[in-house]
């Protein structure tokens, strides 16, 4: 399923055009985005246990052996 999301300020001009353009494609649905604010606002206290970590593997201690020379 593919959603073609139209911002609310442009819905008056684009919604009907896009709906008619994609009416033959059952995999596309045209919708109007009516959200008023972002769900992830800076300083939100939801959860509160999120940590930023370095997810790279730590290096193995020690030295690599010398490579054989030809």
The torsion of the CA quartet 40, 44, 46, 52, rounded to 10 degrees, works out to 80
Please name the helix (run of DSSP H) or strand (run of DSSP E) that holds residue 4, with its range, or none: strand 2-7
Nearest residue to 17 via CA among 27, 30, 8? 30
pTM summary value: 0.52
Structure confidence by residue, pLDDT tens digits, 23-68: 999 999 999 998 887 766 666 566 667 777 777 877 778 888 888 8
Q: CB of 24 within 8 A of CB of 18? A: no
């Amino acid at each position: 399923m593919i959603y073609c999301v139209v911002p609310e300020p442009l819905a008056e001009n684009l919604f009907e055009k896009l709906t008619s353009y994609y009416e033959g494609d059952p995999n596309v649905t045209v919708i109007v985005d009516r959200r008023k604010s972002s769900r992830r606002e800076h300083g939100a206290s939801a959860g509160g246990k999120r940590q930023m970590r370095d997810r790279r593997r730590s290096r193995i201690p020690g030295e690599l052996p010398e490579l054989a020379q030809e």
